[in-house]
Amino acid sequence: MNLKKFYNKKKILITGHTGFKGSWLVHWLSRYNVEIMGIGLNPNNKLNLFSYINKKKLLDKRIDITDYKILEKNILKFKPDIIYHLAAQALVKKSINNPLETFKTNIIGTANILNCINKLNKKTISIIITSDKCYESVKLSRGYKENHRLGGNDPYSASKASAEIIFKSFFNSILKKNKKIKIATARAGNVIGGGDWSSDRLIPDCIRAWVSNKKVNIRNPRATRPWQHVLEPLSGYIMLSYHLQNNVNINGNSFNFGPKFNDISNVERVLKLSKNYWKNARTKFYKEKNFVEDEHLQLNTRKAEKKLKWKKIFTIEKTIELTMNWYKKFYDKKNAFKLLDNDINYYLKKNRNFTYE
């Protein structure tokens, strides 16, 4: 896949562009001959990745996706060729403390985006990003497939399952009839990588504690998650948009992006690997009351591997190495812009799905 050719002269809309994944995606796509409009809120933290990315090709719009009139006006005016919808309230704990905000953003916000897509009178490729947590929890050791039942024991998971249901209803009753629209959803596992300073996430919590020579509090060391470097699912979104352009049979489909079964790790292993890169890294385990999360979460990615030729490139060891080295260099005052470029260049070199940029 030739990224330079695919994105040439494309107008790209990225919602949630100020977030962790959104910032990485903006920086990556800014390498090409594109126009990017970002729609999102202000970054959550004073220290955030968005401050360091390439913004030369970005039209930066601070818009709440639940404000339909303003959202529609800006999207219809921009007329994007490709849409990546990442905007969301993405933290489980925050969803428990403020469920209404989570439901409003993740459900109504997604419905607003879908309605705007339907009103675009032009050929448009859209990827709606939800979550690996959209599946009903049945402790499935062999991994959730795209056709497994949706559900959620917490507001965040329920909101993402609802977003998937809304997408399917929009597609089957409305969008499927519009031959100009190609659309799919993407469900990605836990992403890590340099530049994430979000609250209540394992790696950012560790970094904050360790750079201050403090212990990090760990809730559930035995919990397994489909850990992957942030560039892995982003490459999946890119490949999905490319294949939607050429394969009508995947229109309206959903795809999982995550590690293979033999590369699934629990929190304890991730911590052990991460500690190798930090002197005096310390942890403290505790059990938080009234906070329930699935202990085992794994995705089956055979559909993406077969239909998109996508595959995860980095092992968990390499993922941790890249992530920890990014943070170490950042705190050693290295240029964050160049650190992002270096990781993207390395990923493109290792990923044979992508040819000349």
pTM above 0.85, yes or no: yes
pLDDT digits (tens, 9 = 90+) for 231-240: 999 999 999 9
Q: What is the pLDDT of residue 357?
A: 62
Among 346, 300, 323, residue whose Cα is nearest residue 49: 323
Look at residue 284 in the predicted model and tell me its pLDDT: 86
Residue 224 banded pLDDT, cuts 50, 70, 90: confident
Identify the three-state secondary structure at position 222: coil
The phi and psi torsions of 164 (rounded to 5 degrees) equal: -65, -40
pLDDT digits (tens, 9 = 90+) for 59-84: 999 999 999 999 999 999 999 999 99
DSSP 8-state symbol, 149 = P
Asked whether the predicted pLDDT for residue 178 surpasses 80, the reply is yes
CATH code of the domain occupying 3-350: 3.40.50.720
Q: How far apart are CA 238 and CA 165, in angstroms?
A: 23
Alpha helices by DSSP H, the chain: 3-7, 20-29, 68-78, 92-97, 99-103, 109-119, 155-173, 202-211, 231-246, 267-275, 302-307, 316-331, 336-350
Say what the pLDDT of residue 278 is.
92
Question: Could you tell me if 323 and 192 are in contact, meaning their C-beta atoms sit under 8 angstroms apart?
Answer: yes
Whole-angstrom Cα distance, residue 294 to residue 270?
17
Report pLDDT digits (tens) over 255-285.
Answer: 999 988 777 888 999 999 999 999 889 998 8
Q: Is the pLDDT of residue 356 over 80?
A: no
For residue 285, what pLDDT is reported?
80
| 284-330: pLDDT as tens digits | 887 665 555 566 678 999 999 999 999 999 999 999 999 999 999 99
Q: How many CA atoms lie within 13 A of 4 on its CB side?
A: 4
Closest CA to 343 of 355, 284, 324: 324
The domain limits of the chain are: 3-350
DSSP three-state, residue 172: helix
CB 14 within 8 A of CB 84: yes
**Separation of alpha carbons 260 and 248, rounded Å:** 27
Q: What is the mean pLDDT of the chain?
A: 93
- pLDDT of res. 294: 61
Six-digit token pair at 266?
């629990």
**Radius of gyration of the chain, Cα coordinates, nearest whole angstrom:** 19
Query: Which tens digit of pLDDT belongs to each residue from 107-132?
Result: 999 999 999 999 999 999 999 999 99
Look at residue 141 and tell me whether its pLDDT is greater than 80: no
